[in-house]
A = this chain, B = another copy of it.
């Protein structure tokens, strides 16, 4: 089977892979957008996790070929790549925040889908489903999941292509040409230094213009709020979320008997979004005042939401092999180092409220946050 992808062109699949793609579980990914509500800002960003999954398989395969990994090993890595996001549900980012304690992380859900659904049967013809999941914990898992892995390379390029932002920035071709695998570490040769930098620059630009775009954050915050209302009121059961598509979630919200969930849902459908009344950098100093700000703002405008910036847990870590030694990329590259600071600087807390309360909330926020 061949699928034509807008990014990588024709991608070939084995019979087994075709079997997995044909399952209902996998087809579900067609109805889950890679970038959730981002299309409210970049209308072309309608690409799905389905596309990303097959693109990740493709890039993983190219890395395997470069590293000389063949046969069963390669096949299992391809399968892992294909299934690495199978645990993602609609609006993963928002639902995980709310539901991860109930239903587990998307990795946990993914593992269960691989072992407990028809996907297990398909894989079972050739491998133990567990063998595929285990790749994630083995050194070869880096081919998919590390900072120079296929997952990141595919989604950055795909998101760039579909938003129209900074497309072509990442020199994937070159990265794949310069990867090495040694002592259990997937890294990049010195000759690929600029290509690795291009990846992190691409990531930074996507981060600051797309992933952290204020309007995207607003829509995301509103969605999370609506979901909370709907789940708390029992209108949506946590386990249901596992099988809903993006649009089904939205429709469940707008038809919710919970008034708040309904209103928020309808506003999202109409793109009637909340506004940023104020924003500030997170620091020990500002953090202290957050509670006071929340209370004061809620009094003026009960709908106020303080949207916290994403905390990226793991710092980027790419090993570079120079003539004599291995070094971390951020030790070698001033540029990469500074991207970290630049990224931190752009992480702001947003104070959101309805249009009609914007002025008041803005004034109150200034009073509290700017006082000596």
Residues of B within 8 A of A27 (CB): 269-271
Residues of B within 8 A of A164 (CB): 4-7, 9
Residue A286 interfacial (CB < 8 Å): no
A48 touches B48 (CB 8 A): no
Interface residues of A in 258-290 (CB under 8 A from B): 269-272
B205 touches A194 (CB 8 A): yes
B335 touches A339 (CB 8 A): yes
B198 touches A205 (CB 8 A): yes
A165 touches B4 (CB 8 A): yes
Residues of B within 8 A of A2 (CB): 177
10 A-B contacts, Cβ less than 8 Å apart? A3-B43, A4-B42, A6-B44, A7-B164, A9-B173, A27-B269, A46-B46, A166-B168, A245-B247, A335-B342
Residues of B within 8 A of A177 (CB): 2, 10, 12
Give the distance to chain B from A186, nearest Cβ to Cβ, in Å: 19
- Chain A 226-270 interface 0/1 with B at a Cβ cutoff of 8 Å (1 = within): 000000000000000000011110010000000000000000011
Residue A161 interfacial (CB < 8 Å): yes
B209 touches A194 (CB 8 A): yes
- 10 shortest interchain CB distances as A-B pairs: A168-B168, A338-B338, A247-B247, A6-B44, A334-B342, A9-B173, A335-B342, A6-B164, A46-B46, A24-B270
A197 is contacted by which of B162, B205, B335 (Cβ under 8 Å)?
A: B205
Interface residues of A in 22-48 (CB under 8 A from B): 22, 24, 27, 30-31, 33, 39-40, 42-44, 46-48
Residues of B within 8 A of A10 (CB): 173-174, 177
B169 touches A269 (CB 8 A): no
Residues of B within 8 A of A50 (CB): 43
Residues of B within 8 A of A201 (CB): 201, 205
A166 touches B161 (CB 8 A): no
Give the distance to chain B from A336, nearest Cβ to Cβ, in Å: 9
B162 touches A6 (CB 8 A): yes
Q: So how many copies of this chain end up in the complex?
A: 4
Give the distance to chain B from A255, nearest Cβ to Cβ, in Å: 11
Interface residues of A in 191-214 (CB under 8 A from B): 194, 197-198, 201, 204-205, 208-209
Residues of B within 8 A of A40 (CB): 30
Residue A353 interfacial (CB < 8 Å): no
B39 touches A30 (CB 8 A): yes
Residue A51 interfacial (CB < 8 Å): yes
Question: What 20 new A-B contacts, CB under 8 Å, besides A30-B39, A46-B51, A167-B168?
Answer: A4-B42, A5-B43, A7-B44, A7-B164, A9-B174, A12-B177, A27-B270, A27-B271, A44-B47, A46-B47, A166-B168, A168-B169, A169-B169, A198-B205, A247-B247, A333-B342, A334-B341, A334-B342, A338-B338, A338-B341
A338 is contacted by which of B4, B48, B334 (Cβ under 8 Å)?
A: B334
